[in-house]
């Protein structure tokens, strides 16, 4: 049993929270909750209590690129970032496109036990965009995969995309599209605009993203399916999403922390740490993304945590792979860009980083081991109330910290925020009542037992 | 000044210092039987070329040798990732060998700037991707100054038309930056497909742009023709070599639209008959194309001298 003392749920009045058997057993005014003798006390005076974060867009690199990240190191980074569930993108080697591979990733995650790892299945065989992978088999597997994406590549063929959107309706699945019209982005290196013109780097035009989002929204509306749009990066995409939602279509979207903070002029200096796909955009895009996240046009924050080895990044800009670390800095960037600017309160943060992504990924139901709708992955993004699964995070809102790449838990070092002083720290994370992080470090008892 | 990565690194004073130094070195050499100065004796200059460019490499090599530096040519073709050693490891090797200056030509924009984080010596950008080629801009400005300004001072009031594949041209970017620093007015002329999106604001202050070569020529003191690679046709930047040549090539008729004193430049290598007609390229009065090659050596001597010797 654990007693969290003096925490402020959603930044509101302080309470004591008793956790027993993986769930919230009691909530009461400070001092009012009876403390069992064997309870572990977690002092949380002044700390904010939120439901554990959910990331619908993480790259864990296993299998295939264990030199860059593993399920174990990525899980540690996730727990330290306040996450209790992460969705692992399928651009592994081999691609996560069969029931066997999704189960392998899922089992690895549950053995490690720091965070629920829910594999995202590839939409097409080998992520080649040619024919559907066995989506139903992945949904029926132990991993209960219902989110599908060819992330890193766009499902370009409009007919294939339509079929994918339709097919996953049978198991309440969702296609998460990496929106990029590849014919407009051949060899593209950064946002197309004045900065790319000056730097002589080939431009990645906003329209290449917007055209696909518009097409897919129309397709989703046409066939009545659910569409999720990955890493929205432009003001124009926001306009299209707003329009699609106004139509009543079931379209959701995510934005990354880096697109909420950084702009394309970071490419000056040609340091590939700032190379990412979709690329960093302009200040006007950043502002539009913040507004869209605030008003719900963009539903959630997703990290697109993309570890790359130092040797892959320490090279010419054009030779480097795109991608940035994100799990351990996400909350801090959201606080800086959304909370400190008055665009979101702590309930808003809970919604965009936990409630909404859990709903999109369908892990907000009651967990069950016997094939219930949420499968084994449920219980995330829940309100903080008695009886709910104790997936929780404690945050120090007043802390600041200096981002030092070597101190991050990820196996890779490619954070674009190295040297930044960021606000807010994760102090503790609880996965079904078990502390995975305490005092800002991995809990000694964490993992393996969960 | 430690490195020369962009023509934008030079302010007016520094740009004039390079041009004036080039004039002085040129005169010092001209009076000698043995065309060599002892200035950089014992210094090592490495030509690190990831792209074939006999012309630029030879020019730098000659410049370094005329200043008595030791010159090593290091050619490393292809992608550092796909084939063999990384750019960083190559840089560390050059550093360990004691390179005082690395003259870098690379297919990737920004590669010379990346080198500066790994080597202590000076890095000179000898052309990087579609980014910049600052010594080309310096030799072009040197040439304009000799032809039109008596070899001294700035280029205040000069109107320079840069014509052709601006999108893929490092020469256009460096020239635009340097010419503006020197007080000249630049007009970029190209079909819209061969101008980078955002070109008007790429250097902050607006850049003049035109799609119509004939309308620009009557006020141009200098017209600089850029090489247009015919493979751009395959990517539909323009329909055919013939159409390109008709709309944007400098032929004898168009040359006639220029003021009498105007000069015609080309950074080479030329596609005769494509962006420039043979009679224009070889025009005894207007064409400076051969002079540009000669001036390249003087300007590169000045850059090496100022980066390596001038600091002492």
* Helices (H), ranges, A224-355: 235-246, 257-261, 283-295, 310-313, 330-334, 346-350
Q: What is the pLDDT of residue A375?
A: 65
Q: What is the pLDDT of residue A376?
A: 73
Q: Residues in chain A, how many?
A: 450
Residues B274 and B301 in one domain: no
Confidence of residue A446 (pLDDT cuts 50, 70, 90): low
Residues B84 and B168 in one domain: no
Residues B26 and B96 in one domain: yes
Q: What is the pLDDT of residue B231?
A: 76
State chain A's maximal CA–CA distance in angstroms. 67
pLDDT digits (tens, 9 = 90+) for A83-98: 999 999 999 999 999 9
> Contact, A85 vs A380, CB < 8 A?
yes
Residues B164 and B271 in one domain: yes
Identify which of A192, A314, A319 has the shortest CB distance to residue B197. Answer: A192
Rounded to whole angstroms, how far apart are CA atoms A156 and A161? 7
Rounded to whole angstroms, how far apart are CA atoms B290 and B268? 9
Residues B18 and B138 in one domain: no
* A199 close contact with B: CB closer than 8 A: yes
Nearest CA in chain B to A198: B202
DSSP-derived secondary structure for A231-247 = S---HHHHHHHHHHHHT
Q: What is the pLDDT of residue B311?
A: 45
Residues A238-246: what's their mean pLDDT?
98
Residues A75-82: what's their mean pLDDT?
98
User: What is the three-class DSSP state of B130?
Assistant: coil
Confidence of residue A65 (pLDDT cuts 50, 70, 90): very high
Q: What is the pLDDT of residue A369?
A: 62
C-alpha R_g of chain B: 19
pLDDT for residue A114 is more than 70: yes
Strand (E) or helix (H) holding A309: none
Beta bridge partners of B264: B223, B287
How much is the mean pLDDT over chain A? 95
Interface of A with B in 285-314 (CB under 8 A): 311-312, 314
Residues B142 and B263 in one domain: yes
> Contact, A122 vs A145, CB < 8 A?
no
Q: What is the pLDDT of residue B312?
A: 46
Residues B273 and B196 in one domain: yes
B1 in a structural domain? no
Instruction: List the one residue out of B251, B152, A336 whose CA is nearest residue B242.
Output: B251
The position carrying tokens 């050693």 is: B85
Q: Do A270 and B113 touch (CB under 8 A)?
A: yes
Measured in angstroms, the CA of A300 and the nearest CA of chain B are apart by 31
The position carrying tokens 């996730």 is: A78
DSSP annotation of A439: T
A374-383, A389-398, B24-33, B106-115: segment of lowest average pLDDT: A374-383
Instruction: List the one residue out of B283, B286, B160 whose CA is nearest residue B219.
Output: B160
pLDDT digits (tens, 9 = 90+) for A167-197: 999 999 999 999 999 999 999 999 999 999 9
Q: What is the pLDDT of residue A113?
A: 96
Residues B48 and B101 in one domain: yes
Beta bridge partners of A254: A300
CA distances from B243 to A68, A191, B236, B265 (A): 50, 31, 12, 22
Set of chain B residues whose Cβ sits within 8 Å of the Cβ of A319: 79-81, 108
Q: Count other Cβ atoms within 10 Å, centred on residue A193.
A: 23
- Could you give the ipTM of this predicted complex? 0.94
Residues B245 and B158 in one domain: yes
Q: Do B88 and A317 touch (CB under 8 A)?
A: no
pLDDT for residue A445 is more than 90: no
Domain that holds residue B248: 134-289
Rounded to whole angstroms, how far apart are CA atoms A206 and A248? 25
Per-residue pLDDT in tens (0 to 9) along chain B, 312 residues:
899 999 999 999 999 999 999 999 999 988 788 889 999 999 999 999 999 888 999 999 999 999 999 999 988 765 444 557 889 999 999 989 899 999 999 999 999 999 999 999 999 999 999 999 999 999 999 999 999 999 999 999 999 999 999 999 999 999 999 999 999 999 999 999 999 999 999 999 899 999 999 999 999 999 999 999 877 778 889 999 999 999 999 999 999 999 999 999 999 999 999 999 999 999 999 999 999 999 999 999 999 999 998 544
Q: Count other Cβ atoms within 10 Å, centred on residue A371.
A: 10
Rounded to whole angstroms, how far apart are CA atoms A396 and A122? 37
Q: Do B197 and A314 touch (CB under 8 A)?
A: no
CATH number of the CATH domain containing B163: 3.40.50.1370
Confidence of residue A377 (pLDDT cuts 50, 70, 90): confident
Q: What is the pLDDT of residue A449?
A: 42
B153 in a structural domain? yes
Q: What is the pLDDT of residue A368?
A: 66
Residue B190 has phi, psi (to 5 degrees) of -170, 165
Angle between helices A206-223 and A235-246 (to 10 degrees): 10
Rounded to whole angstroms, how far apart are CA atoms A173 and A175? 7
Q: How many domains does chain B have?
A: 2
pLDDT digits (tens, 9 = 90+) for A202-231: 999 999 999 999 999 999 999 999 999 999
- Pairing assessment for the beta strands B70-75 and B44-49 based on DSSP bridges: parallel
Give how far the C-alpha of residue A381 lies from the chain's centroid of Cα atoms, to the nearest Å: 13
B2 in a structural domain? no
SS3 of chain B: helix, strand, coil, percent, to 5: 45, 15, 40
* Helices (H), ranges, B116-228: 134-149, 170-181, 213-216
User: All domains of chain A, ordered by start, with CATH?
Assistant: 52-377 (3.20.20.140)
C-alpha R_g of chain A: 21
Structure tokens at A141: 């597997």
Residues B117 and B14 in one domain: yes
Task: For Cα atoms A239, A240, A241, give the angle at the middle one, nearest 5 degrees.
Answer: 95
Confidence of residue A373 (pLDDT cuts 50, 70, 90): low
Cα-Cα-Cα-Cα dihedral of B147, B148, B149, B154, to 10°?
Answer: -100
Nearest CA in chain A to B5: A269
Q: Do B129 and A200 touch (CB under 8 A)?
A: yes
């Amino acid at each position: 049993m654990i007693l969290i003392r003096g925490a402020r749920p959603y930044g509101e009045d302080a309470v004591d929270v008793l956790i027993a058997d993986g769930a919230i057993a009691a909530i009461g005014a400070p001092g009012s909750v009876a403390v069992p003798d064997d309870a572990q006390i977690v002092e949380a005076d002044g700390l904010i209590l939120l439901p554990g974060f959910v990331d619908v867009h993480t790259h864990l690199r296993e299998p295939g690129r264990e030199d860059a990240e593993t399920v174990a190191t990525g899980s540690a980074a996730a727990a330290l970032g306040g996450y209790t569930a992460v969705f692992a993108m399928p651009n592994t080697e081999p691609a996560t496109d069969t029931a066997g591979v999704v189960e392998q990733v899922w089992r690895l995650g549950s053995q490690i036990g720091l965070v629920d790892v829910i594999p995202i299945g590839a939409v097409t065989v080998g992520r080649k965009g040619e024919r559907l992978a066995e989506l139903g088999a992945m949904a029926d597997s132990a991993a209960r995969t219902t989110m599908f994406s060819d992330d890193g590549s766009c499902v370009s063929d409009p007919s294939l995309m339509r079929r994918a959107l339709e097919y996953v309706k049978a198991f309440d699945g969702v296609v998460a599209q990496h929106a990029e019209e590849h014919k407009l982005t051949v060899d593209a290196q950064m946002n197309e605009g004045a900065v790319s013109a000056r730097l002589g780097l080939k431009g990645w035009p906003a329209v290449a993203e917007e055209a696909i989002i518009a097409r897919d929204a129309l397709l989703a509306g046409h066939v009545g399916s659910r569409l999720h749009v990955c890493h929205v990066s432009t003001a124009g995409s926001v306009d299209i999403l707003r329009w699609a939602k106004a139509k009543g279509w079931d379209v959701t979207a995510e934005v990354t922390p880096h697109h909420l903070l950084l702009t394309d002029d970071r490419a000056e200096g040609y340091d590939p740490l700032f190379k990412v796909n979709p690329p960093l955009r302009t200040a006007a895009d950043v502002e539009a993304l913040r507004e869209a996240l605030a008003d719900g046009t963009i539903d959630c924050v997703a990290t697109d945590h993309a570890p790359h080895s130092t040797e892959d990044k320490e090279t010419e800009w054009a030779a480097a792979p795109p991608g940035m670390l994100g799990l351990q800095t996400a909350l801090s960037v959201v606080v800086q860009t959304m909370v400190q600017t008055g665009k979101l309160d702590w309930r808003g943060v809970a919604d965009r980083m936990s409630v909404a992504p859990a709903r999109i990924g369908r892990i907000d139901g009651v967990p069950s081991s016997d094939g219930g709708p949420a499968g084994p992955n449920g219980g995330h993004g829940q309100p903080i109330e008695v009886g709910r699964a104790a997936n929780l995070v404690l945050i120090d809102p007043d802390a600041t910290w200096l981002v030092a790449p070597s101190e991050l838990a990820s196996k890779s070092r490619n954070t674009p925020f190295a040297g930044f002083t960021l606000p807010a720290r994760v102090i503790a994370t609880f996965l079904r009542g078990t502390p995975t992080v305490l005092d800002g470090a991995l809990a000694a008892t964490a993992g393996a037992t969960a | 000044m430690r490195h020369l990565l962009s023509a934008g690194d030079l302010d007016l004073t520094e740009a004039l210092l390079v041009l004036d130094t080039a004039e002085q070195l040129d005169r010092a050499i001209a009076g000698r039987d043995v065309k060599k100065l002892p200035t950089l004796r014992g210094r090592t200059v490495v030509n690190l070329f990831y792209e074939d460019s006999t012309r630029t490499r030879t020019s730098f090599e000659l410049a370094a040798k005329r200043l008595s530096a030791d010159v090593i040519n290091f050619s490393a073709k292809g992608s550092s990732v796909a084939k063999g050693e990384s750019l960083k490891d190559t840089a560390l090797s050059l550093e360990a060998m004691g390179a005082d200056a690395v003259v870098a030509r690379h297919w990737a924009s920004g590669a010379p700037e990346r080198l500066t984080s790994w080597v202590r010596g000076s890095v000179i950008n000898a052309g990087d991707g579609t980014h910049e080629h600052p010594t080309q801009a310096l030799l072009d400005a040197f040439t304009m100054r000799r032809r039109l300004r008596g070899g001294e001072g700035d280029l205040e009031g000069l109107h320079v038309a840069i014509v052709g594949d601006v999108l893929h041209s490092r020469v256009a970017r460096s020239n635009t930056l340097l010419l503006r620093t020197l007080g000249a007015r630049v007009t970029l002329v190209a079909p819209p497909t061969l101008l980078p999106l955002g070109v008007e604001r790429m250097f902050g202050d607006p850049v003049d742009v035109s799609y119509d070569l004939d309308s620009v020529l009557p006020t141009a003191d200098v017209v600089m023709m850029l090489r247009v690679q015919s493979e751009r046709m395959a990517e539909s930047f323009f329909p055919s070599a013939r159409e390109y040549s008709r709309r944007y090539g400098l032929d004898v008729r168009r040359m006639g639209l220029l003021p009498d004193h105007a000069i015609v430049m080309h950074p080479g290598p030329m596609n005769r008959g494509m962006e420039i007609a043979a009679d224009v390229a070889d025009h005894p009065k207007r064409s400076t194309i051969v002079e540009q090659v000669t001036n390249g050596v003087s300007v590169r001597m000045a850059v090496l001298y100022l980066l390596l010797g001038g600091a002492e």
